[in-house]
Amino acid sequence: MHQPAPSAHPRHRTVEAPAGRLHLVEQGAGPLVLLVHGFPESWYSWRRQLPALAAAGYRAVAFDVRGYGRSSKPAATDAYRMLDLVEDNLALVRALGEESAVIVGHDWGSSIAAVSALLHPEVFRAVGLLSVPYAPPGGPRPTDVFAQMGGDQEFYVSYFQEPGRAEAEMEPDLRGWLAGFYAAMSADTMPAHGEPDPHFVARTGGRLRDRFPCGELPAWLTEDDLDVYAGEFERTGMTGALNRYRNLDRDWEDLARYSGAPIEQPSLFIGGALDASTTWMADAIDAYPTTLPGLASAHILDGCGHWIQQERPEEVNHLLTAWLASLRS
């Protein structure tokens, strides 16, 4: 297979995959590091990591997960199940002419990276998890768990699961909605303790944005950055991204045979101390000696929210490159 020459600058292209096509951005040469974004983001969420990893001697590749950006957006809701996303990752490694990769994910990307490593340790030789801890498959049915959260309020995951419902809130003002969502989970703009939690909505007629902070953007997000994100979703709409939430029960069924399974490969976890993913899933972090026996280190960044590699790029880059270097020794 012909390999494009490595570049000191980011290079955009598309490759064939089960989704149809995947849009990727690559920079640098060396061992492959695959970067998987979360909701509601795109390859652009790794813009600060691509040059740092390239400078450290790696071939860094960030891509748009199916349903996002310039990657294909299958119409069927069940085309966004975890097993299909894992197949996209395998196809991407092959399309890049590689046999193995280190995979690093943030938010939903963390879960996608973890399951990719769990199912295919022969390809994904190490896994880095940002913001969302690894919790092995199994346990109660996810929709039952989320339906019980919040009492007289509805948890955002349940709110996202009904097709068309969240889209009706988001799409009339995508730029404003994204700005509010990013601010609601950023350390410097999130609601103060005691204010209504933006992870929940009123069960009757509620909207997530009713609880978003108004006005100031978080420090990590410029107007130009927001334009990039908004432009992607203005073109694609939100359904492909939201379909990830609409497959949780399918994933639970698909992965039942892996119930309780650990990830044995070398691993790294980085979370934000002010991120609800870190605090709500503290038990999953405590279980790492069992669930991630190859864990090199776990880091909780003080004063950091959910958008960890964008809020604290230098610190995350240092932790990633030090961990990657340890894999080569």
Dump the DSSP string for 234-264: HHH-SHHHHTTGGGHHHHHHHTGGGTTPPP-
The number of residues making up the chain comes to 329
C-alpha–C-alpha distance, residues 248 and 250, integer Å: 5
For the chain, how far is it from start to end, CA to CA, in angstroms? Answer: 29
Q: How many CB atoms lie within 10 A of CB 275?
A: 26
| SS3 letters across 18-69 | CCEEEEEEEECCCCEEEEECCCCCCHHHHCCHHHHHHHCCCEEEEECCCCCC
Query: How far is Cα of residue 66 from the mean position of the Cα atoms in its chain?
Result: 12
C-alpha–C-alpha distance, residues 178 and 180, integer Å: 5
Given 84, 107, 251, 275, the catalytic residue:
107
Report the relative pairing of strands 267-272 and 124-130 from DSSP bridges. Answer: parallel
107 assigned to active site? yes
306 assigned to active site? yes
Angle value at C-alpha 246, between 268 and 76, nearest 5 degrees? 115
Beta bridge mates, 59: 32
Beta bridge mates, 36: 63, 105
CA proximity to 156, closest of 136, 180, 138, 137: 180
Dump the DSSP string for 87-142: HHHHHHHHHTT-S-EEEEEETHHHHHHHHHHHH-TTTEEEEEEESS----S-SS-H
Which residues are the active-site residues?
107, 306
